[in-house]
Copies of this chain bind each other. A is one copy, B any other.
């Protein structure tokens, strides 16, 4: 008797990876580079995007935005006011509201994203420092925003998030004079969990340092696609 042994796959994360690769293939075919932008709630992702979209990117890549939120379309409306193609993706049909985007949710939104009209898609993930880091969605690059108002200890408490990004944007530096906060401690903690990771200091509110983030986005838009 012939026997075949089948090992049950790892499940949800394996399935996610398969769909993430399918997303990446679609993005590559359309010549679109994709950034997965993550942070805690209220760290300033949308304000930062508003700033860079207002001021424009070097090389003028055409930018689109996919907004992930549990409910509502507040951020999408803010971005749409800048005449940038924006697609809202709400996670609330699932289980009281999913706390992250996964590859399948992004896939379900793709028919509404005008991939032929853009060069760079920024996916603004749900505000959360845990689960978004666990699900690739087909992105070329991951960046996160952390606000100095959140304290210095966040890299130690949410290491997977800080470790999974190639760029850490430290936002709200205009508040530094008004906080008991040590930038040196934050950067030391960051170095402990993700040695050598790129970081930049800026204030989306005042505009200080925002050009560096615009330059980074433009550089991602100009990249060759990484191997799948």
Known: A147-B149, A151-B42. A130 touches B70 (CB 8 A): yes
Contact call A129/B95, Cβ cutoff below 8 A: no
Q: Are B133 and A130 in contact (CB under 8 A)?
A: no
Asked if A74 contacts B205 (CB within 8 A), the reply is: no
A99 within 8 A of B: yes
A21 contact set on B, CB distance < 8 A: none
> In residues 43-99 of chain A, which contact B (Cβ within 8 Å)?
69-72, 74, 95-99
- Interface SS, A side: loop
Residues of the B chain whose Cβ atoms lie less than 8 Å from the Cβ of A126: 130
Cα of A128 to Cα of B205 in the assembled complex, Å: 24
How many residues of A are counted as interface, with CB atoms below 8 angstroms from the partner's CB atoms? 39
Interface stretch of the complex, out of A109-117, A171-179, A212-220: A171-179
- Complex contact A41–B149 (CB within 8 A): no
Besides A42-B150, A96-B134, A178-B178, 18 more A-B contacts (Cβ < 8 Å) are A41-B41, A41-B158, A42-B149, A69-B157, A70-B160, A71-B159, A74-B156, A95-B134, A96-B160, A97-B130, A97-B158, A97-B160, A99-B131, A127-B157, A149-B149, A149-B172, A174-B178, A180-B205
- Chain A residues proximal to chain B, CB less than 8 Å: 40-42, 69-72, 74, 95-99, 126-131, 133-134, 147, 149-151, 153-154, 156-160, 172, 174-175, 178-180, 205
